[in-house]
Amino acid sequence: MAVEYDGGVVIGADSRTTTGAYIANRVTDKLTRIHDKIYCCRSGSAADTQAIAEIVAYQLGFHSIELDEPPLVETAANLFRASCYRYREELTAGILVAGWDKRKGGQVYSVPIGGMLVRQPVSVGGSGSTYIYGFMDANYKPGMNKEQCMEITAAALSLAMERDGSSGGVVRLASISEEGVERRVILGNQLPKFSTH
Partner 1 sequence: MIHIIFIFSKLFGDHSGPIDGSIVTTIIAIEYDGGVVLGSDSRVSAGDSVVNRVMNKLSPLHDKIYCALSGSAADAQTIAEIVNYQLDVHSIEIGEDPQVRSAATLVKNISYKYKEELSAHLIVAGWDRRDGGQVFATLKGLLTRQPFAVGGSGSSYVYGFVDAEYRRGMNKQECQQFVVNTLSLAMNRDGSSGGVAYIVTIDKHGTEEKVVLGNQLPTFFDQ
Q: Which residues bind partner 1 (CB under 8 A)?
A: 130-142, 155-156, 159-160, 162-163, 165, 194, 196-197
Q: Which amino acid is at 40?
A: C
Of 78 and 120, CB closest to partner 1: 120
Output the smallest distance, CB 185 to partner 1, in A. Answer: 21
Q: Which of 180, 186, 176 is nearest to 3 (CA)?
A: 176
Output the smallest distance, CB 138 to partner 1, in A. Answer: 6
Residue-by-residue DSSP string for 76-122: HHHHHHHHHHHTTTT--EEEEEEEEETTTEEEEEEE-TT---EE-SE
Output the smallest distance, CB 164 to partner 1, in A. Answer: 8
Output the smallest distance, CB 2 to partner 1, in A. Answer: 16
Of 165 and 180, CB closest to partner 1: 165
Of 31 and 124, CB closest to partner 1: 124
d(CA 88, CA 165): 26
Output the smallest distance, CB 128 to partner 1, in A. Answer: 9
The number of CA neighbours under 13 Å toward the Cβ of 12 is 31
d(CA 49, CA 94): 8
d(CA 3, CA 176): 11
Helix then strand count (H, E) for the chain reads 4, 12
Of 123 and 175, CB closest to partner 1: 123
Output the smallest distance, CB 163 to partner 1, in A. Answer: 5
d(CA 129, CA 167): 10
Of 89 and 137, CB closest to partner 1: 137
Of 103 and 141, CB closest to partner 1: 141
